[in-house]
Amino acid sequence: MLSSNIARDERGVVRFAGHSVDALAERYGTPLYLMDEERIRANCRMYKNAFLAGFGDDTGVLYAGKAAAFKEIYRIMAQEGIGVDAVSVGELYTALSVGYPAERIYYHGDAKTDEDIRYALDHGVGCFVVDNETDLAALSAQTQARGMRQKVLLRITPGIDPHTYEAVNTGTVDVKFGVPIQTGQAEALVRAALSADGIDVAGLHCHVGSEVFDEDVFERSSDVMVEFMAFLHAKYGFTARELDLGGGYGVRYVDSDPAADIPARIAGVAAHLRARIKETGLPMPRVLMEPGRSIVADAGMTVYTVSTVKHIPGFKNYVIVDGGMADNPRYILYDARYTVLHGQREGGTDTFDLVGRCCESGDVLQPAVELPADVRRGDLVCVCTTGAYNYSMASNYNRLGRPPVVMLSPDGARVVVRRETAEDLCALDL
């Protein structure tokens, strides 16, 4: 199986995190997002241990909440001692509402509104990641008015191509995030920040992209950032205390994807970074990373019920399920690949496009999947590795309620986000 938390029980039914999906579907209905609590915690500990080994400090791991943000995730992150990266008032509110410590939150965004900034300052967010000079001026105006200094990191674009999908590349010079070194804009932002009132520049941030598999992407971005740090030290006497390398380690969605050995990769980045910093004579900064996908993706599975099977002789076969692009838009956004399993049996396969119930021909969850030829209405279909960017990207298109999130543990199953009802969908309508 794709991941060690997926198996089949003695009846051939898919088991996820030790729970058979037919019983879960019966109890909670479908579509259904399942999450494996032990896997989330194991991924957190894997990162923390790798940081402790590589950097001698495990406080630099920040969970990128955008991958999956709901109260229970932040409770788990608080318990595991993982920092948080947030990008909106909604994410901040969710984290703070369960007592997640504000000082451990890094607040991102290329377009923070005055309201966003006010909210984050009111609640004592630990660090802002400043994206550009306008963002800096907006923050500085408010910190000055409050007579306070806010710790910030400055988001720098290192000019690196991570060889990932266009829509998730954030490292090259021409992306909308951060300011490039190459054009001189990064230096200008640092200069502005060092002289801005109410701003404490703790260091630099970069994030080159998501679904990074190339072996040396973090090494290459470290090289660029360390060189820039040395330049800033020589020219302005500025010493970065923190260096945030962003997120982006990829996960296995299909059997042919490589398995990234993240602890080994972090050990490599740590050794590389130490050597480069040593060459510059600068003190070793506190290093941070912001994994999202690699903490929650393989902790998730989505279960659907088949509504209809359509054969168009000589053309195509469709399996149409009770969810679709509203609960998982990733195939239509990124051509994302997924492993799809029949929930109750294997074998005798035929090829089907797995599609949803939304009113778009493009509502495809995954093309050309192998499923038993006799798949029929009422059967369960499981899409694996949906823990990241599924619930968090879900919409109410066609006025579909979002599926519930059920957290699985050896002790049992519990609803952590309940199913959205038709009344919920009308709750804001006047």
Least Cβ distance, residue 168 to ligand PLP (angstroms): 7
In DSSP terms, which residues pair with 6 in a beta bridge? 16
- Within 10 angstroms of residue 360's Cβ, the number of other Cβ atoms is 13
In the bound state with ligand PLP, the residue whose beta carbon lies nearer, of 204 and 319, is 204
44 tagged catalytic: no
Residue 230: C-alpha distances to residues 32, 158, 224, 289 (Å): 50, 14, 10, 21
Least Cβ distance, residue 64 to ligand PLP (angstroms): 3
Burial class, 275, CB count within 10 angstroms (exposed 0-12 / middle 13-18 / buried 19+): exposed
Among 293, 345, 357, 402, binds ligand PLP (CB under 6 A): 293
Least Cβ distance, residue 345 to ligand PLP (angstroms): 34
Among 19, 48, 108, 112, binds ligand PLP (CB under 6 A): 108
Q: For residue 247, state whether it binds ligand PLP (rule: CB under 6 A).
A: yes
In the bound state with ligand PLP, the residue whose beta carbon lies nearer, of 210 and 366, is 210
Least Cβ distance, residue 336 to ligand PLP (angstroms): 12
Among 36, 91, 242, 290, binds ligand PLP (CB under 6 A): 290
Among 292, 324, 401, 404, binds ligand PLP (CB under 6 A): 292
CA contacts within 13 A on the Cβ side of 134: 8
Q: For residue 65, state whether it binds ligand PLP (rule: CB under 6 A).
A: no
CA contacts within 13 A on the Cβ side of 266: 28
Residue whose entry in the numeric block shows the structure tokens 């279909």: 381
* Distance of alpha carbon 17 from the chain centroid: 21
In the bound state with ligand PLP, the residue whose beta carbon lies nearer, of 127 and 321, is 127
Q: Which of 127, 359, 382, 426 is catalytic?
A: 359
Contact set for ligand PLP, span 355-374 (CB under 6 A): none
Contact set for ligand PLP, span 324-343 (CB under 6 A): none
In the bound state with ligand PLP, the residue whose beta carbon lies nearer, of 211 and 379, is 211
Long-range contact set of residues 40-44: C-beta below 8 Å, sequence gap at least 24: 40/73, 40/76, 40/295, 40/296, 40/299, 40/387, 41/76, 41/80, 43/294, 43/295, 43/296, 43/298, 43/299, 44/76, 44/77, 44/80, 44/82, 44/295
Among 65, 83, 159, 291, binds ligand PLP (CB under 6 A): 291
Contact set for ligand PLP, span 207-246 (CB under 6 A): 207, 210, 246
CA contacts within 13 A on the Cβ side of 316: 10
Residue 43: C-alpha distances to residues 4, 58, 266, 298, 416 (Å): 13, 13, 14, 9, 19
Residues near ligand PLP (CB under 6 A), total: 15
Among 21, 25, 35, 64, binds ligand PLP (CB under 6 A): 64
Structure tokens at 197: 């009132």
Q: For residue 67, state whether it binds ligand PLP (rule: CB under 6 A).
A: yes
Q: How many secondary structure helices (H) and strands (E) does the chain include?
A: 12, 21
In the bound state with ligand PLP, the residue whose beta carbon lies nearer, of 166 and 411, is 166
Task: Provide the annotated active-site residues.
Answer: 359
Task: Give the interface with ligand PLP as residue ranges (CB under 6 A).
Answer: 64, 66-67, 85, 108, 207, 210, 246-248, 290-294
